[in-house]
Structures are given as C-alpha cells and as structure tokens.
Structure 1
C-alpha cells in the first residue's frame, strides 16, 4: 500500500505520460518499463535480464536515480544521468557564454551541473590585449543563476548547480560571502576547493598568497609556478595579494556557520584518491557533492534500500541478509552499466567521456532505519561498525561484478592496468580483487557513491535518506508540482511506523535517534567510517544545533580533514535558508538537501 506522498511523487516525477495521457497505469508498469529499457543494452537473453531487473526493482530493493525512473523506456529527449560537471570555462566572453549555453542544454534535459569558476579573472583585473576590466567569477555566477531560474528541468524539478572556487583565487573572499543575503545565487551550492598546503598554512598561522595566471607571461614577471585549471602543466602566476591563512579559514567557517555556505572540498585528497588520477584532474562535483568529476564527466546513480535486507526486524534475531545484498549489488552494477549504453547525453563531450570511463555510483539508502530495525543506535560504535560492514560488502561485490562484466564485455576504454592499480583506493581492495583487475580489467572506473536520495526514499515508503539519520519520526514535507506549486504531506518514518504497528502499547526505544538528537561529531564519525569504502564520495549533511558553539563548529572541519573525508557539509538553521525540515512545516530553503535540489 503506497502512501499519498509516494503516489504523488510517482504521478508527478516518475510516471510516463504520452501526449498528456498516462502510459504507466500502475507503479508495476514503471518497473517493467525501466527494466526493459535497461535490458536493451544486452546482446542476448534480453527477456531474462528484463525479468531479473524487474525483480530487483519491484519491491523497492533497488532504487535507480530519478532520471532513470522518469526517462528510461520513454520517447522523452532526456538524459538518464543525474550528475554532470561541465567543461573548463575559457576566460573570454565567447568562452563564458558558450559554457552558459552548455549548462542550459544540460539542465533542460534533467541533469544537475557542477562548475569550477577558478579560471575566470578576478574582479579588477585588466585584460592585457583589450584593456577591459574584469568583473570577476561571482558576477558571472549570477548570470548562471538567472539562467537556471528560467530553465525548468524535466519533471517537477528545478535545476541545481555546484560552483567551486580555489582557496588561492583572489576573489575567494567575495565567493565566501556571495550567498549571505536572502535570494542570492539560490540555484547554486558553493564549495571552496581547499588544498593540503592551505590547511598546513592555517595550522601554522602563515600568510597565504592569492594568485592568478599571467595572461601573457612575456609581459610581466611571474612570482611562482602553480597548477591551475585549464593548464596541463604548472603555469606562471602573479601573487595578487596575501592574506593570513587563519583569517581566510575563519571567513569560510563563519560563512558556513551562519549561512550553511560555502561547503569545503578537500581538493588534493579528491585527486589523490581518484582511480583515474593518471588521466584527469578534478576541480568540481555534482550539486550534492557525492560525485567528483573531471571536465565533461558524468555519472548515473542508484541505491540499494537496506531496509529490504533486514530479517526479523525489532527482535533479538534481527540481522542483515548479506548474501542477498551482495547478489543484488552485483545485479545493480550491471543495470547501471547498461544505463550508460541506453542513455541520451546533453552534449557529445559528456557521452565521449562517460563512454571512456563508464563511471557509475551505486549506493545505499535507508541506513538509519535499518540500524533501528536491528536495534542499533546511529550514534554508537556498534551502529557505525554495522554500517561499515554493509558498505564493505557492497563495495567488494560491486568491484567483483565490474570485473566479471569486463571479462564478458571488455574493460572501460580508459583502463590502464598499472596506472589504475596504483590508485590508493584500489590498493585497499582485497588482494584477490586486485589480481583479477590486473588479469581481466574492470568495466567501470568508479562504482560506489552515496547520494542524498530524498525523493526516491520518500517514494519507497519514506525510508531514511541515504546515510542520513531520520530527521524526525513525523514531519511535514512539501513536493513541487509540474505547475511550480507545492503539495504538502504529513509523513512518518517507515521504521517507526513498523515499530508502532508491532508494539502499539510500548514506548519508543532509545535507539530511535533523530538528526538533531545526534551530536555533530557522531554525524561526522559515520561519514568517516564509510568513506574508505566509497570510491566516489558521500553526500552527508552534518546537522548542527543553532546554539552550537562556533569554536566546536570549526573543530568539526578540522576533524573532517584529519578523518580522511573528501568534503564536509554542515547545516545550522539560519535566517537566510531556514530549516531543512520541521515537524510542522517546511520553510523555504535552497540547501543542497532540499527535495527539489538533490541528485535523484
């Protein structure tokens, strides 16, 4: 029995209509449509694969990204991919507006986009050849934001974008403050690209140079050579000015403490851990941060619903059916790999790069509900250990499946065994898997990502989203309609609903922890414990109480860096963005985890 909100989501986001008339008469028709579409990538036994995919989908065990559910097997001119990073923005008017056009085309087809704006000259720079004065990257971001506001992405969804800027760009302070007024850059999430060198400078209380490449190295004296987006080799740069590193770090922290923006991406770790570091440099992510991508990179997502693998929930015998989880992970990898071959792409460059890397992002949802069904607290050592065991099994099963696909269908074209096997992530895999990769190759360069999954989790009986704790056991949630208006629903967490049905006269156990009952450090510990088993990244919001001391807040980001995370996003209620959810109402927010913004 589907809830009202689940039916509403299906009808407004995933149900297939042709000329205004419904083609999918029931949710089972949607599963069949999607299963058949994915099976079309097979060269034989198409009916068999359709049936296997249907069995995986029909009980909400596997939840493909919303673009797949909405577009697979239809006549819509849309992409099935959730996540894109666009090309390097050339620092010229032609280059800027060519990039803007590419973003509009991509969002029109349903993709969220990420951009690194570090290539654009800082405010006040004089162009050597034309003598014009640059207005800086933030000014052009406003043009992107206005474009996004006018482009309604496929279905009941507004476009979402990620903007990044290097911590050594001269306009970094303007970037930090860019969203500190209500209504500013509302379609962007912002993240600062933080380097290891900068974190060291913060620790040492050193001065920090803000730099930019010389437009014409022959026309001036370079202060240093530095890596910079858009250049294959270190480029001569000018030090525009210096700022105390600790002062700049405090500005970043004050901004995200007060306004939930900007987030932080640990640039060097992202690139160091990248399985394709031998051929690409990453400087941006998709809008919610779980997929770091190179220029014109793309990725499609899907999540296993962990609540479906709990046997004997809320009893002393409760356990995870790991064998079934591993088998489903293998099948889900094949499904997502097939999506690459059946999807349209907004741009030929996206298709070319994705065809070369065959990145996918298999993740999980319902983790918090699953732990409660097992009688474990989210903020406990045993809860985190159980979550890590699940992720480790999923990761190793996904890699084993991709190796088998490589044996059957060939490895991804960018695969180079020696270089790939030098990746720190690959070196952490079991020796058997590493040996098989050397012998057979692997079908997909990356396999695991944890997305926020808010919409598809609501669709699947309102299980907890991604690896997030339950925000509230009962809440109001509003969902965007095709006409731009909202419908509001009262919802109950699935695990709590099941508990009350089984134990109508008993008090709620202590392990039913909600997000604001969990200490921020325990949020961070869960993300850190899972990160070693995720080759892409994790979308996770660390909920921070409004009265949380600033000094402890800053310490969270230090711990995030020291714990090996690729990025960190916190959320503390504030006057500009309001609250993500409330038990009585939903306030206006454009935070990355609002239901209209997320990747699914």
Structure 2
C-alpha cells in the first residue's frame, strides 16, 4: 500500500525528490527508499550511525518531519549541491570591482541551488560623485538590474530558478526609486524586494515627523516620514511589493546580536542573516500529530511533539556537517554559528482538526502554546547536543542570554544554556512549504490558512489526452473520510474568506516563539480600502511582528481571477476552485483573485522523441563577431498542433561553445515538458549585456541571447504556435484558461507554463507543478 494519500503527493515526489539515474531510471523505488537515503546520509556524521539511522527514519516516516526540499532531494545523492536553502551574501562594496566580485559570488551560490539575499543600501545613490573618474554614480538600482539579468540565465539545482531578495534602508537617498521599481512589469522580476524599516522611522511616522535621507554621513534631502511610509504602502497596495522588514527589531531580538549585524534576509524573509550567513530549513507536520481529529477529545500529543522536535534538531545539526557550500565564507559562517531553521507546516489543518477557526483568538492562543512547546523542545535538545558535541564556536553565555529573544525564554531553559551551552545559535523559523506540503498530502502550508478546500487539476498524458483529478486539502479529505457527505463545520475557513487582521493575529502569535522570522502572506481582497490596507502593516508593527508581506490582486503581478468557496457549510464535495464569491463583507471577506480553473497541464515525464522531426535552421550574425551562429528549431505535433520540441545552437567560435551547449540543453529540456513554453522567448529577449547590445534590422537588441530569443520567437510565429511578436499562444489547446469574473489569466508558471500561480508565504507558487520561485 502506497504511503501517499493523494496522487499529487506521489507526482511531486517523483518529479522533485525521487533520486534517479541520469537517464531517469529510479534509484529510490519507493518513498520509503527516499526516507532511508536521507536518514542514512544524516546519520553518517554520527559516531555511531547505526544507532541514529532508525530514529531518523522514524521521524521521516509518514511525513511527520519534513526536511526542506534541498535536503530531501540532495541528501545521500553525492551530487554537487548545497543542502542549505538560505544565504545572504557578503556586504556589497561601494566600488565597481567589489560590486562585480559580489555578482560572481551570487552566481556561484545560485548555481548550486541556494536562494540569496542582498542589502543594496551600501551602494552610493544615483548622482553622487564617483571620485577619480569625473562621473556621477548610477545608483544601486542600476546594479540590481545587472543582478536580475544574471539570475535569469541561471537555472538552480533541481530545476529551480535562482531566487533573490533585495533590501534597502528606509534612509537611503534612492529609497523612493527602490519603492516604485517594480511598477514596471518588466523590471527586476527575479527579485523579491523589502524596505528595511527602523524604529526611529516608525516613531517619525506615528508622530508625523521629518526624515533625513543620508549616505556616508551626508544628508541628501529631508522628507516627511509619513509621506515616505505612504509611498511604501501605495506601492505594495498597487504592485504587492515592496515588503516591510522591521530591521531594528530583528537585530534587537537576535540571539547573536553581540557578534553580527543583520541587514538582509533570504528570498522569502523567514531567515534574517548576516553577511555570508546560511541556514537550512525543516518543518514539523502538525497535521500528522493530532489524535481523534474533529472529536471533542482531539489533541496534539505533547510527548510525541517534543520527541519529534528533538530528533529533527539533531538531524538538522548534522546537515551543517554533511552539506556542501558554494563559498568557503558560507561554510565558515555556518560552522561558527550552526544556525538551523525548524518550523511547522499543517498548522491550519491541525487547528481545524481541533475544532478551532484559524484567525480566532482561540486559534492564536493554541498556536502560541504549540510554538512555545516547539521552542522549548528545540532549545533543550540543542543543549543536550552541546553536552555531547560542544556548543557552537561563537557561544558566549552572558551575551547570548542577554538578547531580546532569550530574555523571554523560560527560566529552566535559560539555566540549562548557562550551565551547558547550546549547540545551535538559532533554532526556529517558519519557511514556505508549498511543494513540501503537497508532497505530504496537501497539508496546509507553513502557518498559512488553508488556501482552498479542493480544486481540479487536468493532467496531460503522453498521448496528448488529459485526465482530471481532484486535489483536496488534507483536513477536508480527513473530514470526508470520517463523516462522508456531512457539511463542513462553520469553523472551516480559508485564505479567500479570512479577514487580513486575522492573518496578522496568527503571525504575531507564532512570532513570539520564533527566534528567526516567518514567511507569511497576508491576503487582502482587491476592494480593501487604502486606509484599511495600511492598518494591516501598522497592526503587524504594533503586535511585534518582524516584517509584513501582503498580497492584493493587481495588474502587474496578474491574478484577477477569483477563487473561493461559497460557504463552508455547503456540501464539501461541491467545493472547487472557481466558484465566484462577491468581494467585500462584514468582516473583510472576499475573493483574493488567483488564477484557478485553467487547463492545468502537468507532465511526469518528458515527451518522447520520434525518429524524425520537422524543423528549420536560421543564421544569426551578431555584429563584431567573426563567426555566425546557426539555430535549429525542431517541432513535434501534439493534439494536431505543431509545437517546438528541441533547439540546437552551433557556432565555429569556440568562445561560444560552453554557453551554446548549455543553452541548447536547457531550452530543449523545457520544450520537452510540454505546456505553454512561450516564456522561454520572453526570458531570452529580456536579457541585456552590460557591455552593450546591437542594432539589428532597425531594432536595438540588448544581447546576443536576446537575439537568439527573437529567432526562436520568429520560428514559433511561422509555425502557428505564437499569435505574433510579443503575443501569447495561438490556439494551443493545452493553454486554454477559463476567465472568471471577466478577468484575464495572470502570469504563466515559468516551469510548466500553466496559469496556476498563487502567492504563498511571500512567493509565487504554481498549483499545477509545485514550482516556487523562492524555493
């Protein structure tokens, strides 16, 4: 009998986490083999591996403890990938040479699969003088464009794109340009962006005081703090970015504030990190620990939770020693502090099983209790590891215990740390778990509410036919199994019907016991007033959150389709995405407008290659290049439509050899997955060369890669795959999308091409294939 409770869970495992030979032959025959592989790899660093492998396996079994995707996919495979999810790069020097050294380090990190964060506040503002060259500085935004272009060209390990976070201090002279940068829908698409908001700034906002914008000790100009705050709010209201990070609160609460200063986070915001900081992630699946669900006797076993947390902490500490690192500085930082980020998933489902309405005061109190227990268990387990293996090298008991976070810790835990030390400097973090939660049976993600009770996926088969399958939330399916067609109780709520301030209440309840931070998105209805929207951020500040990220449907990020269920009391068998719910309501209810009922295409295996294919070869002569480039595009007929299947790029110029081979393999691999692959053209055409582009046939082309994208686009138009230059698909049956409430179809997933993106925990995530930009 399969360990998977839903078809989508097995599909995600096969596509993302199952260890296979290079030719696709499975090495992990079952998911139990995957668990055994991980347990064996993490036990190998113990003095007595045999004593721990079984305990590690038991923690993984039945999806109780979920290591992050990089660990699940990479541990025990001997592949050259990092098992760490989160990196913040070194401080960016305010010099041209230093800036491009940092760009190289970023590329190396993303190449191994790490998501990175950068603080661009250290680069002098636009118009500032550059000594020695009689020129004015171009400012940090121009260099962010270079980072963005680099990120577009790198595909991270496990078919993940590189993900980046950019931060800028609220007192930087270019902060207003930073705030509005993503109002341009084509700019900085590879970045998540957040403003570093300080305590003095928030005080100035509340008192309507003035605010200096400074760099290098020089005041460039003075603004009203409230005006600047409103600009931040207006931009995120209109474009869903930037987010807000309360950076002084982060540094005050940091256990390591005596030896590091934080100015950036990883891409999803749950890991504030110092320069070259690194952190790995994992989650306790609370939904698997509730006994007697939906009964009066429902309970989450405290002893079982404590034991599971202790085992998870040991496993994660071992990852520090088992992992590779892209840069030596990252390895040294990880070894010196041994940071881990243990969090939870399935919280909303667990609350439902306990009969609690997510967002209520009772649910917040229960969340506080569970997070407190997890924090206690994690810290005491780390103390036990310190007794056995030693404290982290930079441990200083007096300074460690004086931090803001440790001042609120239980007295017995503080005493234990003072006496024995602690193995890991920080232990808790709540990360995005979108794909991992699907793998575990579609449990609710992280501490988010249930996104939707159920939705329908259309699965493309290799013969071109399609089948439908229902994807049901874990708690909803459990209710069905126990109660048949009985209506869902009125305490069932989801992301579409939850008031924004209920989101804040839950985030604040969890944050109290999380020593790092939390990745969470506060979904807001499209018709929320601007004043009510601003109140969400002020409530997050007032209630002690370390940051705030919201998502309100908008034209730039797409998502004008409604998705929600009419009423939770209706027959659960009829609750699918795509049912129209009027926006608004007495308690802030309303649809959050995510792409939903489209023709979702998922392919577990690439399309097969016939013996013969039709195609065409194009000659591309790039100015100033001695040799031409020849581009061949071959097509396949699927469902009566001609679609691109593979690309070959050739040149006599040996300087082009490595990247043309890489591009050939990457584009062909994407084409063979099927679906809407028109995004390949868009991505290539958006690449610009910092050295300059060229004029070709009366049009400026920003790079040779953009020129190749133009050739592929020309071919797609000629074969009828695209409707025209810069346009979408022409009648491809695999890309039909049902527009609800008169809306468009939003953005396509860059992995599978389908229009199933939704904002989860600050990151766009595909409901079709599980792809997440942020990891």
The within-5 A match list for 1:443-522 is 443-475=423-455, 490-522=470-502
Give yes or no for the alignment of 1:584 onto 2:597.
Answer: yes
Stretch of structure 1 that moved more, 343-352 or 590-599: 590-599
Give yes or no for the alignment of 1:594 onto 2:764.
Answer: yes
What is the rounded CA distance, in whole Å, between the counterparts of 1:54 and 1:347 in structure 2? 30
What is the rounded CA distance, in whole Å, between the counterparts of 1:83 and 1:57 in structure 2? 22
1:115 is paired with a residue whose SS is strand
Counterpart residue number, 1:99: 102
What is the rounded CA distance, in whole Å, between the counterparts of 1:336 and 1:581 in structure 2? 35
2:533 is paired with a residue whose SS is helix
1:32 is matched with which residue: 12, 21, 36?
36
Give yes or no for the alignment of 1:346 onto 2:521.
Answer: no
Partners of 1:475 and 1:581 within 8 A in 2:
no
Counterpart residue number, 2:233: 253
Change (3 A) 1:163 1:488: farther
Give yes or no for the alignment of 1:325 onto 2:305.
Answer: yes
What is the rounded CA distance, in whole Å, between the counterparts of 2:528 and 2:182 in structure 1? 21
1:184 is matched with which residue: 177, 187, 204?
187
Counterpart residue number, 1:109: 112
Counterpart residue number, 2:751: none
What is the rounded CA distance, in whole Å, between the counterparts of 1:498 and 1:12 in structure 2? 25
CA drift of 1:10 comes to 1.3
CA drift of 1:479 comes to 11
- Flag the structure with more relative contact order, 1 or 2, with Cα contacts below 8 A and sequence separation at least 6: 1
Aligned residues: 570
CA drift of 1:256 comes to 0.6
Partners of 1:309 and 1:322 within 8 A in 2:
no
Partners of 1:89 and 1:119 within 8 A in 2:
yes
Change (3 A) 1:118 1:490: farther
Partners of 1:113 and 1:287 within 8 A in 2:
yes
What is the rounded CA distance, in whole Å, between the counterparts of 1:540 and 1:208 in structure 2? 29
CA drift of 1:156 comes to 2.6
What is the rounded CA distance, in whole Å, between the counterparts of 2:438 and 2:237 in structure 1? 29
Change (3 A) 1:478 1:348: farther
Stretch of structure 1 that moved more, 322-331 or 470-479: 470-479
Stretch of structure 1 that moved more, 459-468 or 524-533: 524-533
Partners of 1:478 and 1:489 within 8 A in 2:
yes
What is the rounded CA distance, in whole Å, between the counterparts of 1:454 and 1:593 in structure 2? 9
Partners of 1:477 and 1:581 within 8 A in 2:
no
CA drift of 1:505 comes to 2.8
What is the rounded CA distance, in whole Å, between the counterparts of 2:210 and 2:468 in structure 1? 50
Cα deviations across residues 327-376 of structure 1 (Å, max 9, x unaligned)?
A: 10011000000000000001000000010000000000000011111111
Counterpart residue number, 1:304: 284
Partners of 2:65 and 2:285 within 8 A in 1:
yes
CA drift of 1:172 comes to 0.4
Give yes or no for the alignment of 1:391 onto 2:395.
Answer: no
1:547 is paired with a residue whose SS is coil
1:9 is paired with a residue whose SS is helix
1:22 is matched with which residue: 26, 32, 44?
26
Counterpart residue number, 2:359: 379
Change (3 A) 1:22 1:292: same
The within-5 A match list for 1:560-571 is 560-571=540-551
1:59 is paired with a residue whose SS is helix
What is the rounded CA distance, in whole Å, between the counterparts of 1:141 and 1:477 in structure 2? 37
The within-5 A match list for 1:63-462 is 63-213=66-216, 237-462=217-442
Stretch of structure 1 that moved more, 580-589 or 309-318: 580-589
Change (3 A) 1:529 1:598: farther
1:371 is paired with a residue whose SS is helix
Partners of 1:285 and 1:293 within 8 A in 2:
yes
Stretch of structure 1 that moved more, 460-469 or 371-380: 371-380
Counterpart residue number, 1:226: none
2:45 is matched with which residue: 14, 37, 41?
41
What is the rounded CA distance, in whole Å, between the counterparts of 2:746 and 2:428 in structure 1? 32
Counterpart residue number, 1:221: none
Change (3 A) 1:489 1:293: farther
CA drift of 1:405 comes to 0.2
What is the rounded CA distance, in whole Å, between the counterparts of 1:152 and 1:590 in structure 2? 21
1:247 is paired with a residue whose SS is helix
Counterpart residue number, 2:625: none
Query: In angstroms, what is the RMSD of aligned CA positions?
Result: 1.7
CA drift of 1:583 comes to 4.1
2:307 is paired with a residue whose SS is helix
Partners of 2:87 and 2:279 within 8 A in 1:
yes
- Return 5+ residue gaps in structure 2 as ranges: 461-466, 560-592, 599-744, 748-756, 766-770
Change (3 A) 1:478 1:154: farther
CA drift of 1:382 comes to 1.3
What is the rounded CA distance, in whole Å, between the counterparts of 2:450 and 2:296 in structure 1? 22
What is the rounded CA distance, in whole Å, between the counterparts of 1:464 and 1:353 in structure 2? 33
CA drift of 1:582 comes to 4.2
What is the rounded CA distance, in whole Å, between the counterparts of 2:594 and 2:77 in structure 1? 34
1:303 is paired with a residue whose SS is strand
Change (3 A) 1:360 1:599: farther
Give yes or no for the alignment of 1:558 onto 2:562.
Answer: no
Change (3 A) 1:243 1:407: same
What is the rounded CA distance, in whole Å, between the counterparts of 2:458 and 2:142 in structure 1? 32
Which protein shows a greater Rg? 2
2:221 is paired with a residue whose SS is strand
CA drift of 1:507 comes to 1.1
CA drift of 1:18 comes to 2.6
CA drift of 1:598 comes to 5.7
What is the rounded CA distance, in whole Å, between the counterparts of 1:196 and 1:380 in structure 2? 29
CA drift of 1:66 comes to 0.4
Counterpart residue number, 1:223: none
Q: TM-score, with normalisation over the residues of structure 1?
A: 0.92
CA drift of 1:116 comes to 0.2
What is the rounded CA distance, in whole Å, between the counterparts of 1:488 and 1:64 in structure 2? 30
Cα deviations across residues 193-248 of structure 1 (Å, max 9, x unaligned)?
A: 000111111112122111111xxxxxxxxxxxxxxxxxxxxxxx100111111111
CA drift of 1:451 comes to 0.7
Partners of 2:108 and 2:326 within 8 A in 1:
yes
Q: TM-score, with normalisation over the residues of structure 2?
A: 0.72
2:47 is paired with a residue whose SS is coil
